Every structure is written in structure tokens, then in C-alpha cells.
Amino acid sequence: MSQQGDGPTRQDDDWWGQLYDETADDTGPAPAPDSLDDRYASAKRTTVPGPGGAEDRGARREGAPASPSGRSGGPPPERRPRSSARRGAESAAGGGAPSVPGARPGAAPEPDTRRTPPASPPAPHAPAPPAEPAPPDPRRATPTAAERTPGAPSAPDAPAGRTPAPPAAPGPQPGRPPAVRPMPGWPAPPAEQPPEPRDPGAPRGPVVTGVAHFTPAAPPTPDYVGSRPPTYAPEPTALPAADPEELGDLVPDTVLEGARYGACTLRAVSLRGDSARYRGETRRDALLVARFGAGEQALVLVAMATGARAVPGAHRAAADACRWMGQAVGRSHERLVEDLRADRRGDLKSGLNRLTDRTLGKLRAASGEPAASLRCLLLPADPDCRTRVFFGAGDGGLFRLRDGEWRSLEPAVPAVPGEGAPDGDRLTMDLGIPVPPSPYEAAEPARTPFRFRAALARPGDVLMMCTSGLADPLHGEASLRAFLGRRWSRAAAPGLAGFLADVRTRVKGYADDRTAAAVWEA
């Protein structure tokens, strides 16, 4: 009841008049909660007839509103904004929901097509609601002393002369609403997770939420080793001359190959030397990597050849030697695999000697002289077979890296009859005078000694076969042996790019083509 006794007077009367008063200014957002439930309760009180509803307010609006002093037209009393729950309780105590203004008692309610009025504005002299916290400044890492929450670790304040950034919005806490309230019908923003409790003895400072993990990169490969840089540039300069009718004879500057079978990982490369790159000459080294058979019965052949220097078509002779040897091994690979598993080294040596003589004999028949050196490596795909067989003829090198130390496994060259050996001189039975060979007999061209070596690999070994372009600097430069020993003593084999970078490490005074094949034992 009001002080004048003319019926209950609520804040709704002032709210209704101020809402439709054209002279009233916009008061801004309402401090009271403005959710979907609040708006529904306000619309219900507006459209439903009953005591204290719209009809009652419309009847009283014909007269001037009463003031607390009993005079009409006075300023409205100061009231604090009430919550939707309190207004709903007062409506229920008034005897029912409000009705439509101007409706007759007992008549059916008419829907109100006007917009739903917002929540009640604050009283003229009511205290202003607290402002919403501003979003956190990403440039600020630590709050000031006034912005810290109780119990949080302290951090140094901002330096003098610099405006401190607003504090970051705190995360939701039990019994406290979130800092930002979503509009009705809008999805709520994801709530921040509460910070994890910290150890009281831990050092104070910004909290690190994650640790980044980085894989250290391999050290860069040097361009050369030794006391002085090489004479030629490290990259190709000139291309070899090409014949438009013989484009199939072009040889690429670099060839890379790799594979993994059984217990070994293979890396192979053949690249043009610095002098040939500078002069625009063709690479004389040839490389062939082929697999014959399948499964554990497979056999991998690595063949490399070097054409004779200053001989026309030396690159074609090297390529022919590799191709012909590959054909011969491919036809006999089943028998070779059986001999490797049974470790029949005598049978392997005699059989591979015949294949090598047949291949080089075809080259000698075409040119009349040894046109290329040939070196081969047989690798069985069976993981239980650790026998590695090297064979060939000509210059080059065979090395093994074990426990960081290099060792040469190049087989010794047997003595050739007729070259200073006592049994090369033919003596008569009576006079003991050496007899020269008959001029009518065809002179047989000199043969390159055959080389054979069968080695049993151990886990961690690295077996490398190469041409003289890499074997000579390995023998003559200790820094190159030390460098490759460090690079290749790791547990895993390098990739193709890393293997190429290691093999092309230059040494002054050695500028020939380089071809190498290395096998890492698991």
C-alpha cells in the first residue's frame, strides 16, 4: 500500500511512463540481468490481465502519479533496481498476472504487437553499476600490484612513466558469474580453465604453460678439408658438348641411389669431378644398382666402372662394363645366392672371375686395350646372411669403418707371369740362354689382375667400395678420413642428400670423378 492509501504503487508505474515518454533520454544498458527468462516474464506481465497488471496501470495512468508527499506531479521516489525474481514475487502477491491496458474485466486478452519493453532503468540517484572489465592486453605479461588477486604470486609493477594495461579478465570462480554475459540466444564464449596450483617453493614469475621441443640440426658439411681450398669451383660450370644425333649418350653430372634390404642400408653416388665440371667434360665413371629376385632370395648388385683417361668414348666403355656385368649376374643370381648362404667362397671366386674376364674381354676386343676398370659388390637380401662379396679388376678402394677407425680391405694383387717373375723367363735345357717370343705368335693383351674379397659383416660396420677418385684422397689426406669417420659412425645411415654432401667433400689436388657405395649394417 502507498502512503496515500490509493492502492499499491510499484516501480512498474514509473517504468511504463518513462518508457513511452518522448522527452526521456536513453539511459543505456540496464544493470539488471537481461536474460531470455527475464524478457519472457516481462512480456507475460504486460499481456496477461489481472490486478496489478497492464489494466490496473492503464487505469491509474489517467491521473497524475502520486508522490511520497501526497502531491501529484512530484519527482518519482528513489528506488533501487529489483531483480526479475522479486518482481515476479510481487506480481504473484498482487493476485495474478497483469492485463492488457484498456481491456474490460473478464474479456479475452488481446496480443500486444508492440516490442517487448526492456528491463527497468536505474533510478536517477541510484549508484552506477560496476563497469565490465576490459579485455586483456596481449602486450601485458604481469598485472600491477592493484590488479593482483589475493594469493596470486607477485610480479614487478610496470616501470614509471608507462601506462599500465588493464587487467586480464579472471576465469570463472565458484559462486561468481562470468565476466562477460552472452546475449539471449547467442552461444556463450568458452570458459577459461582455472590456473593450476603452484608449488609455494617455486620461483616467482610468469607461468610457463608448455615447453617446445626442438630437434638439433646436423652440423653443416664443409666444402673442403685440408689446409688450402681446391683450385676449382665447388659447383658445375660448363656442360659437355652434345651431338643432336646421339643425345642418348649424354651422362648426367650426378647419380644417386639408395635401398635397404635385410640387415643393411645402401647408399650410392657417382658425381663428376671438379676438373671435368670446369672443362665441360663428360663424367667417365658409371654406376649400376640392380636387384635380382624377390624376398629373401633376392640379390643386390652394385657395379661401378671408370673409363680410361684420354680415350674417346671412355664413358660409353664404363657404362657397357656395368651393363654387361649386370646381365651376367642377373642370369646366375639364384646360384650366387646359394653360394653366399653356404659360404662357398671358392666357388664364388672362380665363378665371378669368369664373369669378370668375359666382361672385360668384350671391352678389350672392341678397343684393343683395357678400356675401363670394374668393381662390384654383392649383397644378399636374407637378413641371416652377413656375407658381403667384393670382386672386380682395376684401380679403386675397398674400406671398412669399425669403431671409428678406417681399414683398407683391398685384396693384394697377385704376381703376373712375365713381369719380373722367375718363371716368366723361358730357359733352354742345355745353354741356359733366354729365348725371345716368336714374332709369328699373336701377342695377347695384358690382363688386369682379378680381385676378390669375402667379408663377414658385424652390426655397426660400414663397408665402402669406391673408385680411385675417392680412394686416392682417402689414402693421402688424414683429415678426410677423420671427417668421414665422424659423419658415418652414427647409428643411422645418412639420407641421400647427406651422403652426397659427404662424398663431395673436396681436397686440394684431387679433382677426378668420384663414385662410392657404402653399406651400413644394422
Coil, strand or helix at 51: coil
Contact 370, 446 (CB under 8 A): yes
Output DSSP code: residue 165. P
**Structure confidence at residue 151 (pLDDT):** 45
**Structure confidence at residue 428 (pLDDT):** 38
**Structure confidence at residue 379 (pLDDT):** 96
Note down pLDDT in tens along the chain; length 522 residues. 445 555 555 555 566 666 656 665 555 555 666 677 877 787 777 776 555 455 455 444 444 444 444 444 444 545 554 444 444 444 444 444 444 444 444 445 555 544 444 555 555 454 555 555 555 555 554 554 444 444 444 444 444 445 555 555 455 455 454 554 555 555 555 555 555 555 555 455 444 444 444 445 556 667 788 878 888 888 999 999 999 998 988 999 999 999 999 889 999 999 999 999 999 999 999 999 999 999 999 999 999 999 998 888 899 999 999 999 999 999 999 999 999 999 999 999 999 999 999 999 988 887 766 678 999 999 999 999 999 999 999 999 999 999 999 999 998 876 554 443 333 333 334 444 454 554 444 445 556 899 999 999 999 999 999 999 999 999 999 999 999 999 999 878 999 999 999 999 999 999 999 999 999 998
Output DSSP code: residue 242. -
Q: What is the pairing mode between strands 397-402 and 387-393?
A: unpaired
Degrees, nearest 5: CA angle 137-154-195: 65
Amino acid at position 7, single letter: G
Cell numbers that stand for 332 in this block: 646366375
**Structure confidence at residue 128 (pLDDT):** 52
**Structure confidence at residue 366 (pLDDT):** 78
Query: What are 517's strand-pairing partners?
Result: 268, 465
**Structure confidence at residue 440 (pLDDT):** 45
Domain ranges of the chain: 27-62+82-101, 252-412+450-521
Contact 297, 479 (CB under 8 A): no
Fold of 252-412+450-521: Phosphatase 2c; domain 1 (3.60.40)
- Compute the residue count for the chain: 522
**Structure confidence at residue 494 (pLDDT):** 94
Closest C-alpha among 289, 288, 303, 292 to residue 259: 289
How far apart CA 261 and CA 257 sit, in angstroms, is: 14
Cell numbers that stand for 305 in this block: 666402372
How far apart CA 32 and CA 42 sit, in angstroms, is: 13
Could you list the beta-strand ranges (E) of 165-308. Answer: 224-225, 254-261, 264-271, 285-292, 299-307
Contact 378, 299 (CB under 8 A): yes
Contact 475, 397 (CB under 8 A): yes
Could you write out the DSSP letters of every residue in 100-144?
Answer: -TTPPTTPPP----SPPP-PPPPPTTSPPPPPPPPPPPTT--S--
Phi, psi for residue 159 in degrees, rounded to 5: -65, 160
Cβ atoms within 10 Å, residue 341: 15
How far apart CA 61 and CA 55 sit, in angstroms, is: 10
Global confidence as pTM: 0.55
